[in-house]
Amino acid sequence: MSVHPTIIQNIMPTVQRYIGNTPRTIFFGGGLAYAVERNQWDQIPFVLLSPFAYASYHIFINQKEVMNWCKYTVKEFRK
């Protein structure tokens, strides 16, 4: 049984409160954030699901936020 429907059910209300009802929201699992084309980073809000704990999620609205989160995550795993 997949956990993805439950995750999306839990995330959708948060996303809708945060950005409104836009069809441009994209959900990514793990490292699939790289699928966003370069010219779309500032146009498409998206949710990056944590590959280590699918009960958690992060909402990013631009490339800088994604890169900062990735750098922080790498530092934490190197400790």
What is the mean pLDDT of the segment spanning 59-71?
Answer: 71
Contact between 41 and 26 under an 8 Å Cβ cutoff? The reply is no
Contact between 13 and 3 under an 8 Å Cβ cutoff? The reply is no
The string of pLDDT tens digits covering residues 32-64 is: 444 445 555 554 455 555 444 444 556 666 667
Q: Which of residues 58 and 65 earns the better pLDDT score? A: 65
Identify the CA nearest to 56 among candidates 65, 64, 47: 47
Please give the pLDDT value at position 77.
66
**Model pTM score:** 0.32
Residue 69 has pLDDT above 70, yes or no: yes
Identify the CA nearest to 6 among candidates 45, 59, 54: 54
Query: Rounded to an integer, what distance in angstroms lies between the CA atom of residue 7 and that of residue 4?
Result: 5
Q: Which residue has the tokens 């956990």?
A: 3
Q: Which of residues 53 and 79 earns the better pLDDT score? A: 79
